[in-house]
Chains A and B, each alone.
Chain A
Amino acid sequence: MKPAAFTYHRAHDVADAVGLLSDLAAAGGDPKVIAGGQSLMPMMTFRLARPSALVDLGPLRRMPSMTTIRAEGDHLTLGALVTHHAVETAALPDGFAVLARAMRWVGHLPIRSRGTVAGSLVHGDATAEWCLLALLLDAVVVAEGPSGRREIPAGELFHGFYATAVDHDEVVVEVRFTRPAPHAALTEFARRHGDFAIVDAAVALDLDGGSVTGGRVVLGGVAPAPVRVPEAEAVLASGGVAGDALWAAVADAAAAAVDPPDDAATTAAYRRRLTRTLVADACRDAAGGLR
């Protein structure tokens, strides 16, 4: 349970980190970025990951742009090194308050104290809360590489099985959430509190008084990557009175649409049942935001 040996490199700014990644790779290495390390370190102690070198973004914490949460107009921008706990305790605008409420599902407090938003997105676990929230609130990941900065919309970020569109020589500098959702919620089920979810569901409702006019449904744990469920969103778009009958219809549509993985510990049928329950719960929670 000890990581394999690697060389360690401290980045002094973003350009330095990008340069280190390119130089180490050009020298035949397999470098990886470490920020909070809360996903990478367990993988390294199990030796599922054996990078030849780590480029540590820790020193970049002194740069305000990397650790600041900024609300500008209809956007919320999180520096790449903002921790889960910083979001949990931040006073966020109504349109993004779901982010703070969802943090209680991310591991435990000591994990949230170190783990970062960008790190979670780049790790790309199919059940990670941040991956669902990115799809729910149209996140844009800003990454810097050797040829400059580019923006990756959440819809193009997740390739499944821990692969993302962020290249090996790129460093995420910020994550911008561009779709405020005042009526949104995330919920999940795991066998033990703080474990990775078996299935998690995030819902954002477009409400006009007591009527639903549309919304989003995002699921984790039912496919190799987190997914939006157009069939369930179509039920929301067709509208109706906010209430249990509509939530049941949305949940049934979601459960019918997914084709979840089937394994000995957790069958596909079980994940489908969880999907139905969690989508209905998330709808109810999201509508409760009206109060």
Chain B
Amino acid sequence: MNDPHLLSLTVNGTEEEVLVEPRRTLADVLRHDLRLTGTHVGCEHGVCGACTVLVDDAPVRACLMFAVQAEGADVRTVESLDDGVRLSDLQQSFSEHHALQCGFCTPGFLMLAEGVLAESPDAEREEIREALSANLCRCTGYQTIVDAVHATATSRRETTA
């Protein structure tokens, strides 16, 4: 019962076509078929948030979506953030605020934060804390991650003001 499906989707601005077994999750197709291993897989049942990516601008758990459900979707992963040379403002802020230690959870936090800041550019610290509670980090204790995202939100507001 392999039942392969031809899947068309856009990943980080590039149109992709992949032949996938229906039971493959979006996280698995990103990592194994498209070789975008920046998206990490932790718990595989929607608890840890390490696999968070943006699907049509909304942060979602890539382990809680079959890839075939992403037909025609616009997917953004952590690989879309830097320009190949420089880190994005959010990534730079994570570095400056020591918002990562082992880094395993970081791609999920970055994409979650991008989704939150895109929808709520005026988010203050409490709203950011609430949103970031979706993901687990076993190293930092979270304060520095909240600091990094809050600093990015503030500086983006100043830039657009």
Contact = CB atoms under 8 A, between A and B. Distances in A.
Interface string B66-90: 1011010000000000000000000
A1 B63 CA distance: 10
Indicate the member of B22, B115, B131 with the most A CB atoms within 10 Å: B22
Interface stretch (B1-9, B96-104, B143-151, B152-160): B1-9
A38 interface: yes
B49 A108 contact: yes
Contacts of B22: 5-8, 54
Contact of A38 (B52, B64, B116): B64
Contacts of B105: none
Interface string A96-120: 0000000010001111011000000
A151 interface: no
B1 A7 contact: yes
Interface in B13-71: 21-23, 25, 43-46, 49, 52, 58-61, 63-66, 68-69, 71
Nearest to A113: B58
Contacts of A193: 133
A46 B1 contact: no
A243 interface: no
A45 interface: yes
Interface string A28-63: 000000100110011001100000101010100000
Interface residues of A, number: 30
Given A5-B23, A6-B22, A7-B22, A109 B131 contact: yes
A114 B65 CA distance: 9
Given A54-B22, A56-B68, A1 B134 contact: no
Contacts, number: 93
Contacts of B25: 41
Contacts of B49: 108, 110
A7 B3 contact: yes
Contacts of B134: 108-111, 194
B110 interface: no
B21 A41 contact: no
B11 interface: no
Nearest to B133: A193
A257 B40 CA distance: 47
Contacts of B5: 8
B3 A37 contact: no
A108 B5 CA distance: 30
Interface of B: 1-3, 5, 21-23, 25, 43-46, 49, 52, 58-61, 63-66, 68-69, 71, 112, 115-116, 130-131, 133-134
A-B complex: 10 closest residue pairs judged by Cβ atoms: A108-B134, A8-B22, A113-B58, A1-B44, A42-B45, A5-B1, A7-B3, A110-B59, A3-B23, A41-B64
